[in-house]
């Protein structure tokens, strides 16, 4: 959905609403966690907070070592807020051939 935003393939779906749905199912998945492989997990928040999966897993490990893994959602929300505060635009709003955050 985020990848197609503001293109001819824009789905018209509300990304914030989809994040709410994803958050709901993250809680549901906890119930079935023992049946799920880590390899098959998909985290749609990468489109909002713009942190690649490898960095997310590193962040998760650091939070786990500090006994703060339960704060992951708060950290990701804050990263999104900081990006907005600094005027760093969402990937989907970049012009097709632009490689700089100043292109919006």
Q: Chunked in runs of 10, what are the mean pLDDT values of the chain (104 residues)? A: 87 91 88 65 69 80 89 88 83 50 47
pTM, entire model: 0.50
pLDDT for 11 equals 93
Contact residues for 75 (Cβ-Cβ < 8 A; gap 6+): 59, 63
- 8 Å CB contact between 3 and 47: yes
Residue 98 is classified by DSSP as: -
Domain boundary assignment for the chain: 15-93
């Amino acid at each position: 959905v985020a990848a197609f935003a503001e293109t001819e393939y824009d789905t018209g779906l509300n990304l914030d609403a989809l994040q709410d749905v994803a958050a709901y199912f993250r809680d549901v998945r906890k119930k079935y966690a023992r049946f799920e492989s880590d390899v098959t997990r998909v985290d749609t928040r990468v489109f909002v907070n713009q942190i690649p999966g490898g960095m997310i897993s590193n962040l998760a490990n650091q939070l786990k070592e500090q006994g703060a893994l339960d704060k992951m959602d708060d950290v990701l929300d804050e990263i999104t807020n900081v990006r907005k505060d600094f005027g760093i635009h969402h990937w989907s709003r970049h012009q097709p051939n632009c490689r700089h955050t100043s292109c919006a």
